[in-house]
Amino acid sequence: MYLAGLEGQILVNAGCSGRSTYIEFDLKSHRLWNRLGRLVNKTNGRKHVLGDGDPVLVVFEGDFYGPRVPDPKLPESIRKIYHPAWDNSNSMTKLVVHTIQSAEELPANHPCKPPESDSNQWPCFQHDPLSPSKEQ
């Protein structure tokens, strides 16, 4: 699921909300770019505001990078415990997107779909991702 807002853009998994992938666009094709923008800004456009966008189900193609390596100039004791993130959301992975293969609105029954009564509620981000789920 793709989330975009004023502070950046990330990919998240509904079952793993404590982890995210930083997104950087280096598009080779702008096919579906406008559709993605419309879906992300659907609620904001209705309210005539700027802010965090709506979650969007996406399929991206690009280059995936794992965790960053600490600066080799740091002392070894710090390098062992220091895990630099790609962004200010603490994303430990990064995807450089070259192609948007699909972009769809979240279906009403998706676990991350905000309720109609309060589109600012994010069900996927209101639980501890490390605790066992009730569905298991």
Q: How does pLDDT run across 52-94, given as a tens digit for each residue? A: 678 899 999 999 999 999 999 999 999 999 989 888 878 889 9
**Number of domains, the chain:** 1
- Domain of 41 in residue numbering reads as 2-125
Phi, psi of 47 (to 5 degrees): -90, -5
For the chain, report the end-to-end CA distance as a whole number of angstroms: 22
| Within a domain: 13 | yes
- What is the reported pLDDT for 4? 84
| Within a domain: 71 | yes
| Within a domain: 134 | no
Rounded to whole angstroms, how far apart are CA atoms 20 and 10?
6
Q: If pLDDT is split at 50, 70 and 90, which confidence band does 131 have?
A: very low
| Within a domain: 132 | no
Rounded to whole angstroms, how far apart are CA atoms 125 and 87?
18
| Within a domain: 135 | no
| Within a domain: 131 | no
| Mean pLDDT across 124-134 | 44
- What is the reported pLDDT for 113? 72
| Within a domain: 108 | yes
Minimal CA–CA distance to 113: which of 63, 46, 39?
A: 39
- What is the reported pLDDT for 100? 96
| Within a domain: 117 | yes
